Amino acid sequence: MANYRIAPSILSANFAKLGEEITAVIDSGADIIHFDVMDNHYVPNLTIGPLVCEAIRPLTQAIIDVHLMVEPVDRIVPDFAKAGANIISFHPEASRHIDRTIGLIKEQGCKAGLVFNPATPLYYLDHVLDKLDLVLIMSVNPGFGGQKFIPEALEKLKAVRKRINATGKDIMLEIDGGVKVDNIAEIARAGADTFVAGSAIYGAGKDSDPHRYDSVVAALRSELAKA
Ligand code: DX5
Ligand code: ZN
3-state SS record for 22-58: HHHHHHCCCCEEEEEEEECCCCCCECCCHHHHHHHHH
Can you give the pLDDT at residue 12?
98
Q: Is the peptide bond before 72 cis (omega within 30 degrees of 0)?
A: yes
Segment 165-197, tens digit of pLDDT: 999 999 999 999 999 999 999 999 999 999 999
CB neighbour list of residue 162: distance below 8 Å, 6 or more residues apart = 191
The set of catalytic residues is 36, 176
How confident is the model at residue 36, as a pLDDT? 99
Give the model's confidence band at 204: pLDDT under 50 very low, under 70 low, under 90 confident, else very high. Answer: very high
pLDDT at 141: 98
- Alpha carbon of residue 182 to chain centroid: 19
Q: Are the C-beta atoms of residues 28 and 217 closer than 8 Å to each other?
A: yes
Query: In this structure, what are the phi and psi dihedrals at residue 179, rounded to the nearest 5 degrees?
Result: -80, 130
Pairwise CA distance, residues 169 & 176, whole Å: 22
Query: What atom of ligand 1 comes closest to residue 147's alpha carbon?
Result: 14
Q: Which residue out of 6, 47, 140 has the highest number of ligand 1 atoms within 8 Å of its CB and is therefore the one to mutate?
A: 140
Note the Cα 73 to chain centre separation in Å: 17
The atom number, within ligand 1, closest to the CA of 198 reads 12
Greatest pairwise CA separation for the chain in angstroms: 50
Please name the amino acid found at residue 166: A
Question: 3-state secondary structure string, 126-142?
Answer: CCCHHHCCEEEEECCCC
For residue 46, pLDDT beyond 70: yes
Q: Which tens digits make up the pLDDT trace of 125-173?
A: 999 999 999 999 999 999 999 999 999 999 999 999 999 999 999 999 9
Given phi > 0 = left and psi -120 to 50 = alpha, else beta, which region is 71?
beta
Q: Are the C-beta atoms of residues 33 and 13 closer than 8 Å to each other? A: no
- Residue 1, pLDDT > 70, answer no
CA–centroid distance, 175 to ligand 2, in Å, is: 9
Cβ neighbours for 11, distance < 8 A, ≥ 6 positions apart: 34, 36, 47, 145, 198
Amino acid at 21: E
Report how far ligand 1's centroid is from the alpha carbon of 55 (Å). 21
51-75 confidence digits (pLDDT tens)? 999 999 999 999 999 999 999 999 9
The residue contributing the CA closest to ligand 1 atom 4 is 145
